[in-house]
Amino acid sequence: MSDIAVYSQCLAKLIPSLGSTDFPGLLIATIRGLVPVDEANFIVYESARLPRFEFSDPDGWSQPNQNIFLKSAFLLDPYYIAAARDKKSGFFRLRDLAPSGFRRSEYYRVYYGNSGLRDECGYLIPIQDAGFINISLGRTSTKIFSKPQLLLLHEIEPLITTLCGMHWKPKQQSDEPGTSLRGQLENALGCFGDSVLTNRECQVMNMILLGHSTKQLAEVLEISPETVKLHRKHAYAKLDISTQSELFYLFIDSLMSVDGYDSGDPLIAYSRTPNKPTAAAVGVQVRRE
């Protein structure tokens, strides 16, 4: 059977599934009818809610890491940043969105380092009420996506966007109108450390969390690499940490350990949390699980 015949059969099953729970999986199957995909994730970011996985194949993440992603770490994901902050939509490769130091970031080590993923691309699709969908497509084999495959995935983007728009029609209002859980977490990222750090130190910590290299930090902030390193050294000392890994887990644990976050530096409430683990201990626990 030809590729176009397989694709047509998948599309014939997909269209009647609009509005049903089968749609995300059938959409991935339709894409796979055109291009080989080893891993696929279908993540929905509705307007005020935390993200959720509508489809994942195979289920390659351990449950602890997936929970951490859904509750806080998604804030550091290049696809999320591109859609939520930069308002981008369309088809993108990970390498086109990620900052220069992303592969050396703790976020990359936790969610990509042990996955065997060699290449990733995907769609960012706006849906109702300022939400969006991230359809992630990965290759774990020896071959990355070829130029013809990437071109084909790019060319079907209008169809994917239209179908997703038809599937996610405006629904009833959120149970908590005016409350944005994602917005609160974005605020926490922006305020992280500002109760103990200078404004410049906060900028450096924020950009390190997002995966920017020292060179890129220096260019963006228009300071020398040596000054970046000095700000990093001072910030680490004030936060009582010594590595990027500990910074990552301090940020994650400060969000996940404090109930009812409203505004301001999450470290303020976190510092009052009894029997809290050290950032290094949290990192070891996550890696072991």
Tell me the pLDDT tens digit for each residue of 3-52: 677 777 888 889 899 989 999 999 999 999 889 999 999 999 987 788 99
> Could you identify the residue written with the tokens 């010594």?
242
Task: Say how far apart CA 21 and CA 10 lie, in whole Å.
Answer: 16
pLDDT at 61 over 60: no
Q: Contact at 8 Å (CB) between 286 and 278?
A: no
Look up residue 31 and give its two tokens: 């894409």
Q: pLDDT of 223-262, one tens digit each?
A: 999 999 999 999 999 999 999 999 999 999 888 876 667 7
Sorted by where each starts, the structural domains of the chain and their CATH numbers stand as 36-167 (3.30.450.80), 181-288 (1.10.10.10)
**Cis peptide preceding 51, ω within 30 of 0:** no
- Average pLDDT for residues 84-101, to the nearest whole number? 94
Taken in order 85, 63, 239, 268, the sign of the CA dihedral is: positive
Task: Decide if pLDDT at 283 tops 90.
Answer: no
Residue 287 has pLDDT above 70, yes or no: no
- Residue whose token pair is 């890129």: 216
